[in-house]
Structure 1
Amino acid sequence: MKSTNEILKPTQFRFINQSEYGPQFSAMQSFATDDALAISVGEHKSPPTARLWVHHNTIVMGIADAKLPYFNEGVAHLNDQGYRVVVRNSGGLAVVLDEGVMNISLIFPDAKSLDIHDGYEAMVEFTKQLFKEEGKEIEAYEITGSYCPGTYDLSIDGKKFAGISQRRVKNGTAVQIYLCVNGSGSERAKLIRDFYEIGLKGEETRFTYPTIKPNTMASLSELFGKELHMEDVRNRILYLLHGLSGSVMNDPLSDEEMASFDVRYDQMVARNKKALESE
C-alpha cells in the first residue's frame, strides 16, 4: 500500500483539459481517453495525469443498469428529456453529466502495487484540498437515496455532491470523480429516479437498484451558498496540481496514445451498440 501523500505528490503532473470541448464531445471518447492514458502512465511513458472533462446532457449507465427489465423504455424517456445514454466500461450505476458537472480523472502508475482503496483515498484527499478554503467539512461515506451510491460518496451536511469510480488498465489506474459544481442536485436526482421507476415498473430483480431520494443530493454552489463556475474549479485544480508537484506539463496525446485511444474507442462503440441495440 502507498500513502495518499506519496500518490498525490509526484515530481510532475501532466494536465489535460478537455472541459471545453462542447456538446459533440462524447463520454465514450472520454472513457477511451482514460484507458489510453492509463496504459501510457502505467508504462511510465507519461507522468501521472490529471484530465478534466465535461459532457452535455449525458446519462452514463453502469452495466447493471442495462439489465433492468424495461431498460429500453427508461432510455427512451431519457432521450425524450434531451439526454443521450452511454454505458461505461467501469463499475457503478447511472449518473448525470451536464454543463454543471466537472469530471476529473487522476491517472496513476503501478496499479499492481496500488491498493484499490489507495486510489479512492487519494481522490478524496484531492477534493478536500480543492475546496479547503470554503470551510465546509467534506465526508466520504455512502449516501442512501443518492444515485450511484457507494462507500466513497462525497457529501457536505449529508448531501452528496460527488461520486468516485476507478478503472484499471494494465499497470495504470484511472480514478474518476464527478463534481456537481452548479445547477440543481435534486433535479438531476429526479431524472435518475424517474429512469429507475420506468425501468423497473415495480418488478423484483436479482440486483437491488437504488431508491432515489432527490433531497439527498446537491451541487457545490448550493452547499457553499454561492455560485461556483466551471472556470473557477478548473483554475483551482491547476493551482493545486502545481502545489502538489511543483511541475505541470500540458502535452496532448501522443501518436502512441492516440493509437490506443482508437482501439479503446472502437471497443466502447461496440459495447454500447450491443447494450442499446434494441433501441
Structure 2
Amino acid sequence: MNEILQKTTWRFVDQSISANKRSPLESFAMDDTLCHLVGQEMSDATIRTWVHHDAVVLGIQDHRLPYIEEGMATLRANGYEPIVRNSGGLAVVLDHGVLNISIVVGEQIPLSINAAFDVMVDFIRALFPKVAHKIEAYEVVGSYCPGSYDLSIDGKKFAGISQRRMKNGIAVQIYVCVEGSGSERAELIRDFYAAGLQGEETKFQYPVITPHVMASLQELTGEIVSVQEVNERIRQQLAEWNGMLRENPLQQHETDLYTFYLERVLKRNESMLTK
C-alpha cells in the first residue's frame, strides 16, 4: 500500500450526488480550486468524488476534428451534451454509472508524474481488494482516451487517469466505469469520431475505437456494484486511514476562489466552442 495514502490526513469532499445535474465544467473549476487551496497549504490534502449525467468531455484535439459540429450533433442525438476542456486528453463519457475521483495533494509531497499516477492506482486497488491483483495499468489499445495509465482487468479497460498541476497543487483524476456497459460507451465515442472525421486524413492520430476492449467493473467482477457503494467504500477507507472521517465541503471563505476559477473555466470553454 502506498504510504502517502495511509499517512496523509485527508479531507473528503463528496459531490457524487450534488454534482449530478451540474455541468462537468464546474468540477474542473472545483479541482482547480482545490489545487490552489492544497498547494498553498490553505487546506488538507483532499479526495473528492463526483458524478455527472450524460455528458461527453472533449479534449482540445477532439475539437479540431474536421467535422466537429457533426460529431457533436451525433453526441446530442444520443442524449449526451458535449463540453470542451482546455487541456490534454481525448473524449470521455460521463453518466450516472461513472464515478470520478480526484486526489489533490500539494507539491510539498514531492511526486513525479508517474509517482502521482501510482498513488491513484494504489487507491483503486485498495477499494477493490478482491480483484486488486488483477488490476493492471497500461495503455489499452482500442479504448477511448487511451493512456499509459489505463486501468484494466483481463485486458478490458474500466478506468482512465489524468493529472493536472497548478499553484503548487497536484490533482490526479480518474473516471471509473462502475455500472452499465463499457462497450456501449465506447460505441458512442466510436460514432463521434466517425461523424467528426468522415474518412478525412488528419495530422493528429485519433484513436480507432474497438468497443469490446472496454467494460465496467460490474461486468468484469460479476458483482452488483454501484457508484454509491463505491463512494461509500471511499468514505470507509478514509475513516480507517484517518482514524475518523474529515468530510468538509467548501467553506464560505473558499467559495470566492471557486467562483473565480468557475468563471475562468466557463470563459475558456465558450472561447473554444466559438473558434
TM-score between the two structures when normalised by the length of structure 2: 0.95
Give the whole-Å Cα distance in 2 for the aligned partners of 1:176 and 1:89: 15
Deviations 1:160-206 (A, max 9, x none): 00000001111011100000001000000000000001111111111
Instruction: Name the SS for the 2:206 alignment partner.
Output: coil
- Per the alignment, residue 176 of structure 2 pairs with 179
> Is 2:106 the counterpart of 1:86?
no
Instruction: Name the SS for the 1:166 alignment partner.
Output: strand
Instruction: Please tell me whether the aligned partners of residues 125 and 132 of structure 2 are also in contact (alpha carbons under 8 angstroms).
Output: no
Give the whole-Å Cα distance in 1 for the aligned partners of 2:229 and 2:109: 35
**Long gaps (5+) in structure 1:** none
- Per the alignment, residue 124 of structure 1 pairs with 121
> Is 2:272 the counterpart of 1:275?
yes
- Per the alignment, residue 50 of structure 1 pairs with 47
How does 1:91-102 map onto structure 2 within 5 Å?
91-102=88-99
Instruction: Please tell me whether the aligned partners of residues 57 and 97 of structure 1 are also in contact (alpha carbons under 8 angstroms).
Output: yes
Instruction: Name the SS for the 2:87 alignment partner.
Output: coil
1:75 deviates by: 0.6
Of 148-157 and 21-30, more deviation after overlay is shown by 21-30
Instruction: Please tell me whether the aligned partners of residues 193 and 212 of structure 1 are also in contact (alpha carbons under 8 angstroms).
Output: yes
1:230 deviates by: 1.6
Give the whole-Å Cα distance in 1 for the aligned partners of 2:240 and 2:109: 27
Give the whole-Å Cα distance in 1 for the aligned partners of 2:170 and 2:132: 30
- Per the alignment, residue 105 of structure 1 pairs with 102
Give the whole-Å Cα distance in 2 for the aligned partners of 1:23 and 1:261: 18
- Per the alignment, residue 130 of structure 2 pairs with 133
- Per the alignment, residue 29 of structure 2 pairs with 32
Deviations 1:197-221 (A, max 9, x none): 1111111111110000000000000
Instruction: Name the SS for the 2:183 alignment partner.
Output: helix
Deviations 1:13-44 (A, max 9, x none): 10111011264211011000010011001111
One-letter amino acid matched to 1:13: W
Give the whole-Å Cα distance in 1 for the aligned partners of 2:259 and 2:19: 20
Shift in alpha-carbon separation, 1:107–1:24, aligned structure 2, 3 A: same
The two structures, once aligned, show a CA RMSD in angstroms of 1.6
One-letter amino acid matched to 1:233: V
Of 241-250 and 183-192, more deviation after overlay is shown by 241-250
How many pairs are equivalent? 275
**Long gaps (5+) in structure 2:** none
Of 64-73 and 210-219, more deviation after overlay is shown by 64-73
TM-score between the two structures when normalised by the length of structure 1: 0.94
The one of 117, 132, 143 equivalent to 1:146 is 143
Deviations 1:214-270 (A, max 9, x none): 000000000001221122101111122223333431122123421221111111111
Give the whole-Å Cα distance in 2 for the aligned partners of 1:221 and 1:244: 26
Instruction: Name the SS for the 2:69 alignment partner.
Output: helix
Identity of aligned residues (%): 52
